[in-house]
Structure 1
Amino acid sequence: MTIHVTPRRTAVLLPLLIDLGLPLAVYYGLRAAGLNQWWCLLWSAAVPAVTVLVRLVRTRRVDFLALLVLSMILLGLVLSVLTGDPRTLLIREAWTGMLGGLVGIWLLASVGYGRPALMVVFRSFVRAKAGEDGLRAWEARWEQDAAFRRGLRVLTLAWGAASLLNAVAQLAFAYLLPVDAAPAAMNLSWPVIAAPLLLFHLVYTKRRDLRA
């Protein structure tokens, strides 16, 4: 059986492979070449900064989230250079990952107040798929359909809990694991959590008729 990779799939998978795989490849490749942990972590930590800069140059658009991530990466690199401690680099990575934890807290908190935050996240996807009329019809279901409201709350709770779990796992790995084991665990944490969650999301939204 031949698997065809469409340009759309490539556009989605390539950034993911770069963000997750390239830092690991740099770290473990340099370790195999004999460099010490501090230099390997320093070079692998520079990879996300370079990718953010390349995307800013290519899009020619100021992305404030990207600038925030870039500033945190650079601050962490400066602190790590000053301390010379490889564990500091790992902890910096973990605290950068706490941005996802804050998103998780936002998602969880939104469930009890009005419309869950996942509705805000979904709006652009619904608009792209169904257009403005489809978006209005989808959003109108919130007032008309109790099962729709309950389903979106369940999904928001699931994604919020997963984001918070990933942030906690990142901190635990950075502080507790051996330095050589921590980069792999930290980079694979979110894919391991997100893969079953995404499967649940696809099945649940179809069965509960939550899609536009």
Structure 2
Amino acid sequence: MKLRPGFVLELAVNFLLPWLAYRLARPHMGETGALIASAVPPIVWSLIELARFRRVDAISAMVVAGIALSIAAMALGGSPRMLLLRESLVSGAVGVVFLLSLPMRRPLIFYLARATVAREMEGGAARFETLWRERPALVSAMRFMTLVWGVGLTGETALRAWMALTWPIERFLVISPFIGYSIYGALMLWTLWYRKAIRSRAEARAQPDGIAS
């Protein structure tokens, strides 16, 4: 994937701006108000995408859902253990959504990939829809990626939840970020490798048979 301007803008709106809004709003509005403020950039972006392309941006929807789950988790209580669990509950909920989308006609990664391709090229969404219909290998690969991400995120949540409930808080605060980033990094690296492997196999199949080396 090339870092095109549209993709960089999407990352900024959905990740950088929510973090910035949260940091600026927290001293004045408290944690709940800051979380609500952080949802404004992806919501505005989704409305713009809906007006332009008549579709909801999948990445923005996931970010807003995560923020909403954070607010809901705060309502469960303010004990130290619950606060430690809050972030894990969000990633775990996303992982469950990945797994629940597996039996559907189009798993969750289909919409995330289509949204990315739509920004990489003109008519990318239509092209991706065509490939989805015509290439069963792509469908199988997307479902496998959905399974891996779902298992990875739910497994990360289960591990961090066990740590939050059983470990001393100080130990959890020190070690938990390394575990979370390691799992996310491993999932990203695996995804990049898997995409490259799929592309290599597709290019090999596309070569005419019988060409002398």
TM-score in terms of structure 1 length: 0.62
Residues 56 and 146 (structure 1), Cα distance of their counterparts in 2 relative to 1, 3 Å cut: closer
Q: Deviations over 1:87-136 (max 9, x none)?
A: x32233314522322221221232223122110122221111123x2211
Query: Which of 151, 172, 180 pairs up with 2:141?
Result: 151
d(CA) in 1 for partners of 2:149, 2:156: 11
For the residue of structure 2 that corresponds to 1:181, the secondary structure is helix
Residues 48 and 127 (structure 1), Cα distance of their counterparts in 2 relative to 1, 3 Å cut: farther
Unaligned runs of 5+ in 1: 1-7, 23-45, 81-87
Contact 1:126/1:134 (8 A) holds in 2: yes
Contact 2:95/2:153 (8 A) holds in 1: yes
Give the match for residue 126 of structure 1.
Answer: 117
* Alignment coverage as a number of residue pairs: 169
Amino acid at match of 1:115: R
Query: Which of 135, 138, 146 pairs up with 2:128?
Result: 138
Amino acid at match of 1:100: S
TM-score in terms of structure 2 length: 0.62
Contact 2:73/2:86 (8 A) holds in 1: no
Any residues of structure 2 matched to 1:147-186 within 5 Å, and which?
Answer: 147-186=137-176
Unaligned runs of 5+ in 2: 1-7, 24-28, 48-60, 203-213
Query: Which of 58, 70, 85 pairs up with 1:94?
Result: 85
Contact 1:72/1:96 (8 A) holds in 2: no
Residues 192 and 50 (structure 1), Cα distance of their counterparts in 2 relative to 1, 3 Å cut: farther
Give the match for residue 71 of structure 1.
Answer: 71
Q: Deviations over 1:132-176 (max 9, x none)?
A: x22111121122112111111111111111110111012111111
Greater relative contact order (Cα < 8 A, sep 6+): 1
Query: Which of 192, 199, 203 pairs up with 2:182?
Result: 192
Contact 2:114/2:128 (8 A) holds in 1: no
Contact 2:110/2:142 (8 A) holds in 1: yes
Residues 164 and 204 (structure 1), Cα distance of their counterparts in 2 relative to 1, 3 Å cut: same
Q: CA RMSD for the aligned pairs?
A: 3.8
Q: Deviations over 1:17-39 (max 9, x none)?
A: x79xx9xxxxxxxxxxxxxxxxx
Give the match for residue 100 of structure 2.
Answer: 109
Amino acid at match of 1:107: F
Residues 56 and 140 (structure 1), Cα distance of their counterparts in 2 relative to 1, 3 Å cut: closer
Amino acid at match of 1:112: P
What is the CA-CA distance between 1:60 and the residue it aligns to? 8.9
Contact 1:105/1:160 (8 A) holds in 2: yes
Contact 2:89/2:157 (8 A) holds in 1: yes
Per mean C-alpha deviation after superposition, the further-off stretch among 63-72 and 142-151 is 63-72
d(CA) in 2 for partners of 1:169, 1:155: 21
Contact 1:90/1:182 (8 A) holds in 2: no
Per mean C-alpha deviation after superposition, the further-off stretch among 49-58 and 171-180 is 49-58
For the residue of structure 2 that corresponds to 1:209, the secondary structure is helix
For the residue of structure 1 that corresponds to 2:168, the secondary structure is coil
